[in-house]
Amino acid sequence: MKCNSIAFSNFRNVESEKCNFSDGVNVLWGKNAQGKSNILEGIYFFARGRSFRGAKEKELIRFGEKEAALSLEFLKEGDRYPVSLSAGIPQDGRKTLYRNGAKLSGSKEMMGSFRAVLFCPAHLTLVSGGPALRRSFLDIALSQLYPAYLDSLSRYNRAHLQRNALIKKAQSTGKNTYDSIIWETYAEQMATFGADIFARRLEYMNELSASVEELFLRMTEGREKPSLSYRSSALGEDASEITRAAKTKLYDALLSNLDREIIIGSSLYGVHKDDISVRLNGKEAKVFASQGQQRSLALSMKLAEGEMSKKISGEYPVFLLDDVLSELDGDRRAFILRSLSDRQLIVTSCEPEIFRSMDSSSRLIHVRDGKIAEVDG
Residues 6 or more apart whose CB falls under 8 angstroms from that of 348 comprise 27, 28, 29, 36, 37, 39, 40, 321, 322, 323
Closest to 303 measured CA to CA, from 364, 222, 365, 218: 218
| pLDDT number for residue 158 | 97
pLDDT at res. 352 = 80
Residue 301 CB partners (closer than 8 Å, separation 6+): 126, 127, 137, 208, 212, 228, 278
Q: What is the pLDDT of residue 244?
A: 65
User: Mean pLDDT of successive 10-residue segments in the chain (377 residues)?
Assistant: 96 94 92 92 94 90 94 94 96 93 93 94 91 95 94 96 94 80 94 93 92 91 88 69 76 91 93 94 93 91 95 95 84 84 91 72 89 81
Report the residue count for the chain.
377
* pTM, to two decimals: 0.91
Predicted pLDDT at 240: 53
How far is the C-alpha of 315 from the C-alpha of 77, rounded, in Å?
A: 7
Predicted local confidence at residue 82, as pLDDT: 96
What domains are there in the chain, each with its CATH number? 1-115+318-377 (3.40.50.300), 127-316 (1.20.1050.90)
